[in-house]
């Protein structure tokens, strides 16, 4: 499979090993990855905003991203401040909740330093999944497994708060 324009060989390899695509044959992902685009984010630049309609899946290629809840919730409610949920490293994905349930973003994501992300639009992703059922199921399985991992982690954190 040819490396898509705008990606280095190392970035392409990272995408193939990333959470959504782990274990899926590169040849089965060719059309989907060709539809994606890489872009740079400056330190402090936001890639996703809590409450906004999420346009697709992002995979962090380099740098670092902070996943957080805004001080003002989408419904207008106020939190005491921003709530940091996670710091993610290259290979991790963002926007998977909205890609699965087609609801607005549940959290915001911003670069903590100059970062590069790979973006696949939600419509392109769904079109690919329906036309390539076996690969689509595998990618959705990976995304659901990652989502469940995150929810289980939140369960443990809440349990520790309750016990603390």
Give φ, ψ of 28 to 5 degrees. -75, -20
Side by side, which strands form the sheet with 108-111? 46-48, 108-111, 65-69, 83-88
State the Cα–Cα distance between residues 112 and 124, nearest whole angstrom: 28
Its pTM stands at 0.89
SS3 content of the chain, % helix, strand, coil (to 5): 40, 25, 35
pLDDT in tens, 115-124: 999 999 999 9
Tell me the domains of the chain and their CATH numbers. 9-163 (2.60.120.10)
Mean predicted confidence (pLDDT) in 54-59: 90
Query: What angle do helix axes 122-131 and 26-35 make, rounded to 10 degrees?
Result: 150
pLDDT in tens, 74-97: 999 999 999 999 999 999 999 998
31 contacts 77 by C-beta, under 8 angstroms: no
Mean predicted confidence (pLDDT) in 90-113: 93
Mean pLDDT of the chain: 90
Q: Is the pLDDT of residue 51 over 90?
A: yes
Report residue 58's pLDDT band, with 50, 70 and 90 as the boundaries: very high
Give 66's strand partners: 87, 110
């Amino acid at each position: 499979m040819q490396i898509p324009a705008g990606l280095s060989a190392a970035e392409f390899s990272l995408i193939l090993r990333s959470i959504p695509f782990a274990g899926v044959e590169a040849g089965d992902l060719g059309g989907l990855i060709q539809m994606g685009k890489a872009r740079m984010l400056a330190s402090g630049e936001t890639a996703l905003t809590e409450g906004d309609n999420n346009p697709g899946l992002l995979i962090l290629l380099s740098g670092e991203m902070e996943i957080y809840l805004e001080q003002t919730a989408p419904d207008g409610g106020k939190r005491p401040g921003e709530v940091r949920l996670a710091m993610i490293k290259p290979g991790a994905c963002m926007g998977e909740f909205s890609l699965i349930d087609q609801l607005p973003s549940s959290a915001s994501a911003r670069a903590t330093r100059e970062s590069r992300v790979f973006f696949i639009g939600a419509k392109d992703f769904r079109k690919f999944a329906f036309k390539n059922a076996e690969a689509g199921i595998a990618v959705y399985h990976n995304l659901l497994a990652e989502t469940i991992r995150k929810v289980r982690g939140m369960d443990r954190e809440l349990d520790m708060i309750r016990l603390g």
